[in-house]
């Protein structure tokens, strides 16, 4: 059986298109993984070493008094709370725009967000009321609600859950 030239060219064209589709799909998948890696890096950078001191300051503040009263008499505590709010606000917006998957935020800083929001919420709500602006820290609150709405099933903290991890 002999193939004529038009049929051979049609087969070659079909194979080229299928091969291009497969190549494109593989590249798209690789791009998705790279994007997730960049997102993880952004999330980790959002809570850099300087932020750790702000987190410690907020979490070390007394819990027997309203946070609103505490920041009224402690300018450093207010500054720390404001810095954390700003960082979590940015992360919330990045998640909303689907630039960073919520799972990555949950894995990297989800515990911090879950811990800090309830502590800062009365202070944020008082600021909203005082300013007459319900949009203050809206993405921070939104992110907290998303983490609460779609909790990851964590069996243990990373240090123990992934103890056997190998490079």
pLDDT for res 162: 82
Domain that includes residue 80, residue range = 11-151
Residue 83 included in any domain: yes
End-to-end CA distance of the chain: 54
Residue 47: per-residue pLDDT = 64
Q: Is 2 among the domain residues?
A: no
Contact 58, 81 (CB under 8 A): yes
pTM of the predicted model as reported, rounded to 2 decimal places: 0.72
pLDDT tens per residue, range 59-68: 999 989 999 9
> Could you give the number of structural domains in the chain?
1
120: in domain? yes
| Average pLDDT for 14-39 | 79
């Amino acid at each position: 059986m002999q193939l004529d030239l038009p049929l051979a060219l049609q087969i070659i064209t079909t194979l080229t298109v299928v091969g291009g589709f497969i190549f494109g799909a593989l590249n798209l998948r690789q791009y998705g993984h790279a994007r997730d890696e960049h997102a993880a890096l952004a999330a980790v950078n959002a809570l850099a070493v300087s932020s750790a001191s702000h987190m410690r300051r907020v979490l070390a503040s007394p819990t027997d008094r309203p946070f609103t009263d505490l920041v009224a008499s402690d300018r450093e505590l207010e500054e720390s709370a404001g810095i954390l709010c700003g960082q979590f606000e940015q992360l919330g917006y990045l998640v909303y725009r689907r630039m960073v998957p919520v799972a990555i935020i949950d894995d990297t800083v989800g515990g911090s967000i879950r811990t800090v929001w309830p502590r800062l919420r009365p202070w944020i709500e008082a600021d909203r009321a005082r300013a007459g602006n319900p949009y203050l820290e809206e993405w921070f609150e939104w992110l907290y609600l998303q983490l609460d709405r779609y909790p990851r099933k964590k069996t243990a903290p990373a240090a123990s859950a992934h103890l056997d991890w190998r490079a």
